[in-house]
Amino acid sequence: MSLKRLAGYGPAVVLTVAIFLLWELVVRANLVNSHLLPAPIAIMQALVDNWDVLSVHTLQTSLETVLGLAIATVFGLGLAILLDLSPWIRKSVYPLLITSQTIPMVALAPLLVIWFGLDLTPKIIVVTLYCFFPIAVACADGLASTDPELMKLLHSMRASRWQTLWLVRLPGALPSFFSGLRIAATYSVTGAIVGEYVAAEQGLGLYMKTSASSNAIVLVFAAIVVTALLSLFLFGLVSLIEYIALPWQQRFGQKR
């Protein structure tokens, strides 16, 4: 990464540090009860002290997240291609898709536990339900925005429908697909935690729930920090994959 790009993160770093500094000072000055709102340094301390337990839960949550995200990617891509097949399919399936996003996950998650039990499956389903939508919508939009002139060119070459999709439309939709995937990646960890919060044997959601019910607020915060870091890591990972997969886009500035 170039120095210039690193410098671009400067303002964000400064702001973050400032907020944490203010928080630390407010707690230390006894303006709030440090048991109800632990200071950042105390949270970090708790995180390090409890890492042996936390790491097991983190691993579980990561596994659910990554599996759910992977399934959502395949599912979202497939759905985008399906929506693209004909205006009729688009018209009939799109409203259903949007409706699926209005179902409150906290209501659905307990049902999933009843249907699928306590292990991985219900969490993976929750993550998938959270994540497939932004991927499918972004990708479908990308496919729909193919330059009609380009379609004419392929038509003049007598390309089949699948050739047009494979040679021109899907590669052209990749930047949109990655924007969708980045949004999905940020949602995904939250999805897994919601699933675990309802019922689980392991995972950060369960850890937060048990810590909260035993009044160990500092541990809840420690788990939140891990969650945030995990989300950021996934976001970064998707950006990295995009950077490697689309060399033509990044290296020469976003032309087009």
The residues of the shown chain that bind other proteins, judged by CB under 8 A, are 147, 149-150, 152-159, 163, 167-168, 171-172, 174, 246-249, 252-253, 255-256
Minimum distance of other proteins from residue 146's CB (angstroms): 11
End-to-end CA distance of the chain: 23
- Residue partners of 66: CB distance under 8 A and separation at least 6: none
Minimum distance of other proteins from residue 77's CB (angstroms): 17
- For residues 49 and 90, what is the distance between their CA atoms, to the nearest angstrom? 52
Q: For residues 161 and 148, is the Cβ–Cβ distance under 8 A?
A: no
- Residue partners of 199: CB distance under 8 A and separation at least 6: 110, 113, 118, 122
Minimum distance of other proteins from residue 200's CB (angstroms): 42
Minimum distance of other proteins from residue 235's CB (angstroms): 23
Nearer to other proteins among residue 160 and residue 210 (C-beta): 160
Minimum distance of other proteins from residue 151's CB (angstroms): 9
- For residues 211 and 226, what is the distance between their CA atoms, to the nearest angstrom? 14
CA angle 246, 165, 72 (to 5 degrees): 65
- For residues 192 and 71, what is the distance between their CA atoms, to the nearest angstrom? 13
Nearer to other proteins among residue 42 and residue 167 (C-beta): 167
Minimum distance of other proteins from residue 140's CB (angstroms): 19
Spell 223-256 as b/e; 16+ CB within 10 A means b: bebbbeebbeebbeebeeebeeeeeebeeeeeee
Nearer to other proteins among residue 40 and residue 172 (C-beta): 172
Minimum distance of other proteins from residue 33's CB (angstroms): 56
Nearer to other proteins among residue 105 and residue 168 (C-beta): 168
Nearer to other proteins among residue 37 and residue 174 (C-beta): 174
Residue found under tokens 């939009």: 141
Nearer to other proteins among residue 5 and residue 256 (C-beta): 256
Q: For residues 223 and 207, is the Cβ–Cβ distance under 8 A?
A: yes
Nearer to other proteins among residue 173 and residue 234 (C-beta): 173
> How many C-alpha atoms does 63 have within 13 Å on its Cβ side?
13
Q: For residues 123 and 195, is the Cβ–Cβ distance under 8 A?
A: yes
- For residues 246 and 241, what is the distance between their CA atoms, to the nearest angstrom? 8
